[in-house]
Structure 1
Amino acid sequence: MKNKIALIILVVLLIVFGFVAYKWIKHRIEYAISDAVFVETDNLSNIAFNRVSGKIIKMYKQEGDKVKKGELLAKIDPTDYKTTLSKTEKEIENLLFEKKALEIKKDRIEKQLNIAINIAQTELNQLDLEKKAIKYQIEELKAQKEQLQRDKKRYENLVEKNLTAKRNLEEINTQLKILNAKENSLKVKLNQLDYKKKILEDNLKLNKVKLAQVKELEENIKALNKKIESLKETKKDIQNLISYTDLKAPFDAIIAKKFKSVGEVVSAGKPIYSIFPRNNLYILVLLDENKLKGVKVGSKAYITLDAYPDKKFEGEVFEINPTTAAKFALVPRDITAGEFTKVAQRIPVKIRITKGDISLLKVGLGGEVEIKRK
């Protein structure tokens, strides 16, 4: 009886063992299993301060922290840049004041000279009219004198012949004297007008020369404008530099590495953080070549990470590398000497996570994967 019971137990154990062995073998046939598993990303980026250097006064994020695009990560002391900005703004202010003063001076001088030129030109026109009138009067006097001269000769002949009274000749001489006096007076006035005209013309030329000098003020104003515009561009650049003292996240990401600490002096372009996009993580499997059969793009995968043994992740294969991992090793094997030991090669397979808490993933974590063969 005891032998029969022992036989039954042995048969049951054999059946259970066979069933387990069958399940295990079947599972190994249906799934490609590997523990050469790593959490990876292809978009690991080092970020640094752009064009600015100085002492770090704030570090807002630590390794593993999530950040949003535009979120402040670190800050350099902006004091020197703000001091330079203040000096530039003051210089612009002084130049604007100088430019305003020159513009006021130019407008005042230009206005005064234009008024003086217009007045002088008007007076010259009036003088020309007066001179013309006087010359006309002188011509009339000459005509009258010529007539009197003819009358005088005629009366002298008549007086000699006692045909007229001597008094008539004396009246003609008196009229000639009066006309000569008027002519001389008009000529003196004409000379005075010529002198006055010369003075006005000289003043007019002088004012026109001064008006030409206003062009120099305009050139000075143009030069100031160029300098002001240049300083305004400098001001914009300094303002940009001040904004660059704030290091911000270029995209939604996770902090992978912090290279610097508060108090350190850094130069432009030196890495401060290393980050990667939140949704760019994948599982990299270095799959033995003898396990590759049936593994295709789109194959379902089940991942367990060593850091979270009670968490399950699901995914699917989205890329199978066409070369082995050893092909790009830093020191590839040299088989040209004829010495060769066969070593199983590993093929990089990439798996996209489709189910599971992605926020738990960290680049470099290891684990185990089961890929459903097709």
Structure 2
Amino acid sequence: MQNSQAAGDGPAAPEVVRKRRRLPLVLLMAACVAAIAGGAYWGLEGRFQESTDDAYVGGNVTVISPRVSGYVARILVEDNAFVHAGQPLLELDPADFQARLDAARAEADAARAALSRLAAQADLARADIDQAQAQAAVEQAAIDLAERDDRRYANLADTHSGTQQDAQRARTTLTQARARLRAAQAAVSARQHEAAVVAAQAGEARARVEQADASLRAASLNVGYTTLIAPIDGYVGNRSAHPGTFVAAGTQLMSLVPAQGLWVDANFKEDQIRDMRPGQPVRIAVDVDSGLRVTGRVQSVAPATGAIFSVIPAQNATGNFTKIVQRVPVRIVLDQALASVGPLRAGLSVTATVDIRDARP
């Protein structure tokens, strides 16, 4: 019976041996095929790809801050809500600013009234000058007549055709006329000085009007600044304002993440950027959605490594030195249809792969 069992196992044993001998050959062939496929991929595709997972979605996040200090009166938007450019976001209590606006308006009205009064005084001063000049002209005519009478009566007295009394009377009249002319000329000069003073005061009044108007405009602007307006279309985030809270000018109250114009900042190793050029296509895999594929193009390569722009740049002048591969930021613009806030969010991690085929033979 043992012989028959041995006889039954005999044909199967060589088959097992043959299969075991073929296994290394099969593995070797599979390895060769894999190597050939890998080499083909590398030669045709892989060597033209530069990839990094040190990449993040970016956007021009706008910080909303008040231009004036005051108490928060109302919050007009909810967290994470979408808002349009020009939409009111928040209101500060405008009472104090409205009172200052009313005071500035009153000061401007008073300054204009003072300017109007001085303008009327200037008109009156010009009229006084004209009157004084007319009186001086009258006195000059009187002098001309008195001089002729003085000469005539003096000649008559010399020829004994007239009396000395008449000659003396004519001389007295001439002297009086000359005195009146000097008085009239002095009055003209005085009126001219008064007009100059009024003109100077009017100049000061005009300056006060301009100053009051500037204060009025500033007060009006401050009233307008109590309402914070969305400068862009975007989503509200990081809201820290609450009704009744006092906020100083420049305090960050909330942020607006733009609804359009997202990009990717990818930090490539320094040995990866040699052949990168603006315009090269980029494939982007988003960590938040493994099935989402985003495309874009290289916009620019940073002029320096990220370490250069850090607050405390590295100093390698010490005795202990460890070489670290530096990374260079590369800005990638997304295709327009994919550059809006949807599955993408500013700050998300992505993997960027740049096709540098056009830069390598």
Q: 1:59 aligns with which of 54, 57, 75?
A: 75
Residue 189 in structure 1 maps to residue 177 in structure 2: no
**8 A Cα contact 1:39 1:365, kept in partner:** yes
Change in 2 beyond 3 A, CA 1:37/1:254: farther
Distance in 2 between residues matched to 1:67 and 1:268, nearest whole Å:
23
Q: Does 1:208 align with 2:188?
A: yes
Q: 1:129 is matched with which residue?
A: 145
- How has the CA–CA distance of structure 1 residues 302 and 136 changed in structure 2, closer, same or farther, with 3 Å as cutoff? closer
Whole-Å separation in 2 of the counterparts to 1:369 and 1:108: 83
CA contact (8 A) 1:301 1:317 kept: no
| Contact 2:235–2:256 (8 Å) recurs in 1 | yes
Aligned residue number for residue 44 of structure 1 = 61
- 1:90 pairs with 72, 87, 106, which one? 106
Contact 1:37 1:283 in 2 (8 A): no
1:363 aligns with 2:346: yes
Identify if the C-alpha distance between structure 1 residues 363 and 187 changes in structure 2 by more than 3 Å, giving closer, same or farther: same
Residue 218 of structure 2 corresponds to 237
Q: What do the CA deviations read for 1:16-42 (whole angstroms, capped 9, x no partner)?
A: xx9xxx9xx99x99899x996876215
Shift of residue 59, structure 1, vs aligned partner: 2.9
TM-score normalised to the size of structure 2?
0.63
Higher radius of gyration, 1 or 2: 1
- Native 8 Å contact 1:69 1:248 kept in 2: yes
Deviates more, 1:356-365 or 1:227-236: 356-365
Residue 197 (structure 1) shift: 1.6
TM-score (norm 1): 0.61
Percent identity, aligned pairs only, is: 16
Normalized per residue, which structure has more helix?
Answer: 1
Q: Which residue of 1 aligns with 2:244?
A: 263
Name stretches of at least 5 consecutive residues in structure 2 with no aligned partner: 1-29
Preserved contact between residue 57 and residue 75 of structure 1 (Cα < 8 Å): yes
CA distance 1:353–1:123, shift in 2 (3 Å): closer
What is the alpha-carbon distance in structure 2 between the residues aligned to residue 373 and residue 128 of structure 1? Answer: 107
Aligned-partner residue type, residue 235 of structure 1: L
| Change in 2 beyond 3 A, CA 1:62/1:364 | farther
Determine which of 272, 281, 300 is the counterpart of 2:253. 272
Closer, same or farther in 2 for the Cα pair 1:129/1:314, shift >3 Å? Answer: closer
Question: Closer, same or farther in 2 for the Cα pair 1:208/1:314, shift >3 Å?
Answer: closer
Q: How does 1:279-290 map to 2 (within 5 A)?
A: 279-282=260-263
- Larger RCO (alpha carbons 8 Å, 6+ apart): 1
- Give the superposed CA RMSD: 5.2
Would the alpha carbon gap of residues 40 and 190 (structure 1) be closer, same or farther in structure 2, given more than 3 Å must change? same
1:220 aligned to which of 184, 195, 201: 201
